[in-house]
Amino acid sequence: AAITKGQYALDAPVSGGDVGAREAKLSIMVGGDELAFASVLPLLEQMGTNIVYQGKAGAGQHTKMCNQIAIASNMIGVCEALAYASTTGLDPETVLKSISSGAAGSWSLSNLAPRILVGNDEPGFYVKHFIKDMGIALEVAKEVGLHTPGLALAHSLYKQLADMGLEEKGTQALYKVLMPH
């Protein structure tokens, strides 16, 4: 009924956190009618720099889950690398300079690792929302018969973080679970 009135709905989740939002450099993953996408593209370009039409309705949401799956395991790696550097006597800031521009480089390593080093747990993306997203991805993966052990581990670790009362913190707070006390 909405289409006959010229109304369309698109699913258009974003990635890029608080930095991407402030700088209008979000990555936007869009699902839905392609003509509707074309008509709102100028609006989306005001918010993001990487705007990709993914396909039919729901495709944007599934792409966001792919993003969250990739980030989940990556955040474990970022936090473990910094914890390893600290516990082996290395200067984590110096290590970060070396590894962030090499093969290990990632958005999380460049944007969230520096926050970890100064104890900044303020959210660019909340732990509680990340847990929700990972839960959705785990549920869909199970429905389609996909084994996602990295995602399951990350989900478990972030739930530990929430159990510590840190669900309102940013995803980089995972460091608190992985760093020996």
- Kindly state the average pLDDT of the residues 145-169: 98
Q: What is the pLDDT of residues 66-94, one digit of tens each?
A: 999 999 999 999 999 999 999 999 999 99
Q: What is the pLDDT of residues 12-50, one digit of tens each?
A: 999 998 889 999 999 999 999 999 999 999 999 999 999
3-class state of residue 162 by DSSP: helix
Domain boundaries, the chain: 3-57, 61-178
**pLDDT given at position 74:** 97
- What token pair was written down for 1? 């009924």
**Architecture in CATH for domain 61-178:** Orthogonal Bundle (1.10)
Catalytic residue among 5, 25, 56, 64: 64
32 neighbors 10 (Cβ within 8 angstroms): yes
- Kindly state the average pLDDT of the residues 163-179: 97
**pLDDT given at position 180:** 74
Is 64 one of the annotated active-site residues of the chain? Answer: yes
**Architecture in CATH for domain 3-57:** 3-Layer(aba) Sandwich (3.40)
**What's the gap between Cα 60 and its chain centre?**
14
What's the predicted TM-score (pTM) here?
0.91
